[in-house]
Structure 1
Amino acid sequence: MKLKIDLRVKRALKYIKPYLGLSILSIVLASLAAATAASPIFIIKQVVNDVLMKKNYNMLIMINIAIILIFILKGFVFYYQAYVSAYISNKITFNVRQELFEHLQKLSMGYFAKTEVGELMARFYNDTEKFKAFIVLAFSSIVKLFTILIAVIAIFQMSWKLSIISLIFIPLLSKIVRTFTKKLYKTGGEIQKKIGIITTVIQENLSGIRVVKAFANEDYEIEKFRKINDENFNANIKNVKISSKVTPVVDFFNAVSLVIILMIGGVQVIKGEVDSGQFLAFLTALALLSDPLRVLTSNINKMTTNLSSVERVFEILDEIPEIREIETPITKEEIIGKVDIKDIYFKYDREYVLKNVNISGNPGEVVALVGQSGSGKTTLVNLIPRFYEVEKGEILVDGENIKNLEIKFLRKNIGIVPQETFLFSGTIRENIMYGKRDATFKEVKKAAESANAIEFIEKLPNGFDTEVGERGVLLSGGQKQRIAIARAILKNPKILILDEATSALDTESERLVQDALDKLMKNRTTFVIAHRLSTIINADKIVVMKNGEIQEVGTHKKLLEKRGMYKELYDKQFKN
């Protein structure tokens, strides 16, 4: 456990490297801050011996002036040290979040399929804040370390015997603190897990609030949230119980140390072995040593708790993308769009969900995939843009294995219109332009016309600049689908994937969307997943799937004549 923590700390502190100059400045300022904080040690001796004992008024004035100057210096030093350390910690947080976001964009779909969005959001926001707190506490601890160092040097100069007695408890304290640290590391991890679950519950509830209200399950959701919220509360209280024990333990040993010092030192003063000013200065140094020791202990506890968050951030950064490019991937001016799927096998876990699949699609052809839910249709089309990696076999585009193609190049030539359209918060124009970021308004408008979307867009108060709301909530299902089609038209892909794009629409919306899709499919290689067989009757090739295997391939007419599985599906849908 100790080695693991040390490696995480070492890795976290590497983020300071780009700000090494500012970090050195912070350390210099920290040493000055420590010196000003330790100044009472030296002042108290002068006050007692030179002012009170010798009644030296001039020395009294000089000491007062020195105190004012020291506190002015202290104010400036503490301000700039705090500013510099805060600047560094915030820049590090910015860099960590940026690196985290960039890495998330590189991860494969398989990672997102097995990781909850709420958990990722908790790590992205809460854990990165804890990462920042870890760095802030590290800088704060530097100041305390310098203060402790100066105080220790001072007490040894005054009386090495008393110093040894006062520091004799430190090894025991260190062992106690390490024990608490291990427990805090564990409870800190529990807290972050609970926060991740809370974020997931909230995210799911808000995304599905319509379903919640439709089933009148508000009370159930409240109770579910209360349960996980209570678990988070209990985890925090457990952490507080552990951390709260540290200070009383440290204070107790400090008190025992102080009693012993008072007894021994008091005797020395009475015998004349140590003068009063020196002894009071020694006690002042001990007092100054006590506070930074307590704060440093507290900082270590907090840093240990936050270390679990640092580790959770690194867990994502250490995640290796499943889909990776070869060293010199292939790009072309353009592609024709011929797709050959050869001897494909694929599994998510242990069992194969696709077995020995062979399909080809030529430019201008429509290949329809039909079959019951769970037959592997969506999984198959997700392999074409390399959302997942094939287990066995190969997928060729224009005769080239897609593993040899640059991923961005491949995906830029593939358009996808899913059943559940996702629109980003923003305007209609921005959502259509997602298909081509540098498109002109003329191109955007033309794409909207081709998608049968121009009529409803122009009726909106702000036309193309109308806000769609989060996930397009301000638009109807048919309107969102036509925006998605316009987005795909603007992209102008050679290969098109339609995943039950009309199954959730009413009759009128389906007619408009289907007409738009017919325009979109022209001169492209199109793979259509269809639930309603009426939409794929004119397909060039219909592929019937069951349990991840191809059962039949042919045109609508030939498959009906074959009187096989397709005929059964057709009769079920169209029987009176």
Structure 2
Amino acid sequence: MDNVELSGIQTEKKALPKEEAKQKTGLARLMELAMYKKACMLTAMLMSFLSTIASFIPYLAIYMVIKEIVRVYPNISELDKSAMGQYAVLAVAGVLINLIFYTISVALAHVAAYGTLYQLKIDFIEHITKLPLGFFYKSGTGKLREILDNNIESIEGFIAHDLTNMVSAFTAPLIMLVMIFAVDFRFGIAAFLGIIIAFMGYGMTQKQELTNKLMKDYQEALQDMGNAATEYVRGITVVKAFKQTAQSFHRLNDAIKRYMAAVIPYSLSQENMTATLTTLLSAMYLVLIPVGILIGQHTGNYRSYASSFIFYLIFVPAIGNILMKLIYAMANAANIAGNVDLIDEVLMESEIKDSGKNLSPKGHEIEFKNVTFSYDDKKQVLNNISFKAMENKVTAIVGSSGGGKSTIASLIPRFYDPKDGEILIGGVNIKDMKMEKLMDEVSFVFQDNFLFETSILENIRMGRKDATVEEVKAAAKAARCDEFIEKLPNGYDSIYGAKGTKLSGGQIQRIAIARAIVKNAPILVLDEATSFSDAENEYLIQQALNELMKNKTVIMIAHRLSTIMNAHNILVVEDGKIIESGKFNELLEKNGRFYKLWENYNAANVWKLKGRA
């Protein structure tokens, strides 16, 4: 495999910083991608070149036939049958050679295309897994889905078909020019004049800066509509519950309108240019016929004149097709180059980088030192946070919504990096640890958990890919989910989401806990893991969590304060600051913010709807 940069990510999977990448753009970038399988692609291009040359052999044979017929006309019986047979063989040979070279070209181009497509998707996915979570909130899933499903796929079409077609499209006009001047330079000048007039008209209708702007607006509108459509489908239960429609759901409706406002001018701009060129190329007869009549009035060799004139009348339509093929290839390449620019926008996003020191922690104590963080460089979410979470102890974090609790949890696995300060595990700055090592140290159970559309077994095994079936089942039993899994149609082999295999929120939560048990990392982050569970599920989840938390350093983001009564330390976070800390009873005795939270929590538990008896 050639050692080239495929996507701003080298084959050894190290991203280049923006200032060092010297990223190519447009067609140059597209060609760089196409040359990933260089030997294969160059051979495909050579085959396309030879195929194009061979495609003109039948025209040469036709010209020789016309010349022979005109030579003996009207005494057709005097035709040189041997020569005519040779011309026929020459034409058939040209067709067969063209077909053979073209088939080889297409086959090699597809091999190169699928190899490049595979590697580009792998590189793209690996890259986005190293980006901070803020990028995904900013970009939206619709944009990334559009890039993976369509933009990257369009590169396969360019490499497999368009690039070899471009070679052919550039080669054919050169051979065509040689032929039109070689047969009869006078008719060649007439045909060439018609080509110049056609391209002058095309150039007058083409405004490159405007075209580029229209194409960019179209692609951005398409992405925005994709984001809005994804959001609409994901929120369909809310849409239906509140009697919304595609029209009344303003974000989707506005996105569709913006798309229509962008796609129509873009399409018309392309249509006007293409229609102008097609019309003028088709009108080349308006130049050729008058010139042919003029030449005929002053010729001394009518047989030579007639054979050349007839040949050009046959060949002129082919000139139009050849040049239109070139225009279509260039326009398509420009469109795909725009797609590549969108891909590169993502690939040039800065990854979360480590310091390169590759240190290992000496223990599993977590320490925040003067940590400050902001999502948008405007409002500070965390302000000079400092605390220690002792090894093999439970540290709970409570406070009002939006106070910064979940942000603290997100900084530990480096979903984001703090603006100031440092975070240490076992005395080592987490930036001095390899991301793989850091991920081995930390397990998570989130408030909202995601199951993949694969077997329940594989969903649990996400925690550790080399876990045995026995280890997975042991984790499921510890997480109190073995019983309901066994009741599924195919037990642990049941595909989640397929044929009605659905699970409740509490069941999904327990599978997420089983995942964390399988991983068995020494540090555990629980982000409101029991928030949405009912009484029965809360009890089962709490049992599972007790099993999971044994001999681990635990950071617990708590909404239900009853779950943290035995925590070794409780941090009360408000407006990005730690305002209180201590054990449960100590904080209650202070009669401060935690005491107020506890009162509110108890009041909510005994609250009842008032209504008719």
Do they superpose with TM above 0.5?
A: yes
My pick for the range that moved more, 179-188 or 353-362, is 179-188
Question: Which residue identity is paired with 2:589?
Answer: E
Determine if the alignment matches structure 1 residue 326 to structure 2 residue 347.
no
Given the superposition, is the C-alpha separation of residues 83 and 461 from structure 1 closer, same or farther in structure 2, using an over 3 Å criterion?
closer
Question: Which residue identity is paired with 1:394?
Answer: E
CA contact (8 A) 2:444 2:526 kept: yes
Determine if the alignment matches structure 1 residue 32 to structure 2 residue 71.
no
Which of 479, 489, 493 is matched with 2:517 structurally? 489
Question: Which residue identity is paired with 1:292?
Answer: I
For residue 108 of structure 1, report the CA deviation from its aligned partner. Answer: 2.2
What is the root-mean-square deviation of aligned Cα atoms in Å?
A: 2.6
My pick for the range that moved more, 277-286 or 535-544, is 277-286
2:106 aligned partner? 82
Please give the alpha-carbon distance, in whole angstroms, between the structure 1 residues aligned to 2:248 and 2:385. 43
The 5 A counterparts of 1:403-422 are: 403-422=431-450
Question: Which residue identity is paired with 2:327?
Answer: T
Determine if the alignment matches structure 1 residue 302 to structure 2 residue 332.
yes
Determine if the alignment matches structure 1 residue 267 to structure 2 residue 267.
no
Given the superposition, is the C-alpha separation of residues 27 and 447 from structure 1 closer, same or farther in structure 2, using an over 3 Å criterion?
closer
Please give the alpha-carbon distance, in whole angstroms, between the structure 2 residues aligned to 1:298 and 1:23. 21
Question: Which residue identity is paired with 1:295?
Answer: K
Please give the alpha-carbon distance, in whole angstroms, between the structure 2 residues aligned to 1:255 and 1:42. 22
Please give the alpha-carbon distance, in whole angstroms, between the structure 1 residues aligned to 2:278 and 2:492. 67
Please give the alpha-carbon distance, in whole angstroms, between the structure 2 residues aligned to 1:201 and 1:407. 33
Question: Which residue identity is paired with 2:86?
Answer: M
2:4 aligned partner? none
2:6 aligned partner? none
For residue 200 of structure 1, report the CA deviation from its aligned partner. Answer: 2.0
Secondary structure class of the residue paired with 1:435? coil
CA contact (8 A) 1:158 1:282 kept: no
CA contact (8 A) 2:405 2:557 kept: yes
**What TM-score, normalized by structure 2, do the two folds share?**
0.86
2:574 aligned partner? 546
Determine if the alignment matches structure 1 residue 281 to structure 2 residue 311.
yes
Please give the alpha-carbon distance, in whole angstroms, between the structure 1 residues aligned to 2:174 and 2:339. 30
For residue 553 of structure 1, report the CA deviation from its aligned partner. Answer: 0.8
The 5 A counterparts of 1:117-516 are: 117-135=141-159, 136-168=161-193, 173-174=198-199, 177=202, 179-218=206-245, 220=247, 225=252, 228-229=255-256, 231-254=258-281, 257-273=284-300, 275-321=305-351, 323-331=352-360, 336-349=363-376, 350-469=378-497, 474-516=502-544
CA contact (8 A) 1:50 1:56 kept: yes
The 5 A counterparts of 1:6-21 are: 7-21=25-39
2:592 aligned partner? 564
2:118 aligned partner? 94
Given the superposition, is the C-alpha separation of residues 427 and 300 from structure 1 closer, same or farther in structure 2, using an over 3 Å criterion?
same
Please give the alpha-carbon distance, in whole angstroms, between the structure 1 residues aligned to 2:433 and 2:63. 78
Given the superposition, is the C-alpha separation of residues 445 and 176 from structure 1 closer, same or farther in structure 2, using an over 3 Å criterion?
same
Per-residue CA deviation, residues 383-436 of structure 1 (Å, 9 max, x unaligned), is 111111111111111111111111111121111111112122222211211111
Question: Which residue identity is paired with 1:29?
Answer: M
1:64 aligned partner? 88
Please give the alpha-carbon distance, in whole angstroms, between the structure 2 residues aligned to 1:19 and 1:555. 62
CA contact (8 A) 1:435 1:490 kept: yes
Please give the alpha-carbon distance, in whole angstroms, between the structure 2 residues aligned to 1:165 and 1:568. 93
CA contact (8 A) 1:41 1:282 kept: no
Per-residue CA deviation, residues 26-77 of structure 1 (Å, 9 max, x unaligned), is 3333233323332354234322332332242413333233333333333333
Secondary structure class of the residue paired with 2:171? helix
Secondary structure class of the residue paired with 2:217? helix
My pick for the range that moved more, 517-526 or 42-51, is 42-51
Question: Which residue identity is paired with 1:195?
Answer: L
Per-residue CA deviation, residues 317-367 of structure 1 (Å, 9 max, x unaligned), is 22221x1012231236xx531111111111111121111111111122211
**When the two structures are aligned, how many residues end up with a matched partner?**
569
Q: For structure 2, which runs of at least 5 residues remain unmatched after alignment?
A: 1-21, 73-77, 607-613
Q: For structure 1, which runs of at least 5 residues remain unmatched after alignment?
A: none
Please give the alpha-carbon distance, in whole angstroms, between the structure 1 residues aligned to 2:162 and 2:261. 25
Please give the alpha-carbon distance, in whole angstroms, between the structure 2 residues aligned to 1:425 and 1:417. 19
For residue 160 of structure 1, report the CA deviation from its aligned partner. Answer: 3.4
Given the superposition, is the C-alpha separation of residues 393 and 230 from structure 1 closer, same or farther in structure 2, using an over 3 Å criterion?
closer
CA contact (8 A) 1:47 1:277 kept: no
Question: Which residue identity is paired with 2:47?
Answer: L
Question: Which residue identity is paired with 1:511?
Answer: Y
Secondary structure class of the residue paired with 2:462? helix
Given the superposition, is the C-alpha separation of residues 175 and 343 from structure 1 closer, same or farther in structure 2, using an over 3 Å criterion?
farther
Please give the alpha-carbon distance, in whole angstroms, between the structure 1 residues aligned to 2:590 and 2:446. 31
Please give the alpha-carbon distance, in whole angstroms, between the structure 2 residues aligned to 1:435 and 1:390. 26
Please give the alpha-carbon distance, in whole angstroms, between the structure 2 residues aligned to 1:189 and 1:14. 21
Given the superposition, is the C-alpha separation of residues 532 and 27 from structure 1 closer, same or farther in structure 2, using an over 3 Å criterion?
closer
Question: Which residue identity is paired with 1:185?
Answer: N
Please give the alpha-carbon distance, in whole angstroms, between the structure 1 residues aligned to 2:312 and 2:341. 42
CA contact (8 A) 1:31 1:143 kept: yes
**What TM-score, normalized by structure 1, do the two folds share?**
0.91
Please give the alpha-carbon distance, in whole angstroms, between the structure 2 residues aligned to 1:233 and 1:185. 17
1:108 aligned partner? 132
CA contact (8 A) 2:169 2:329 kept: no
Please give the alpha-carbon distance, in whole angstroms, between the structure 1 residues aligned to 2:592 and 2:238. 39
For residue 525 of structure 1, report the CA deviation from its aligned partner. Answer: 1.2
Given the superposition, is the C-alpha separation of residues 165 and 391 from structure 1 closer, same or farther in structure 2, using an over 3 Å criterion?
same
Per-residue CA deviation, residues 79-102 of structure 1 (Å, 9 max, x unaligned), is 333333344334333332222222
Given the superposition, is the C-alpha separation of residues 37 and 371 from structure 1 closer, same or farther in structure 2, using an over 3 Å criterion?
same
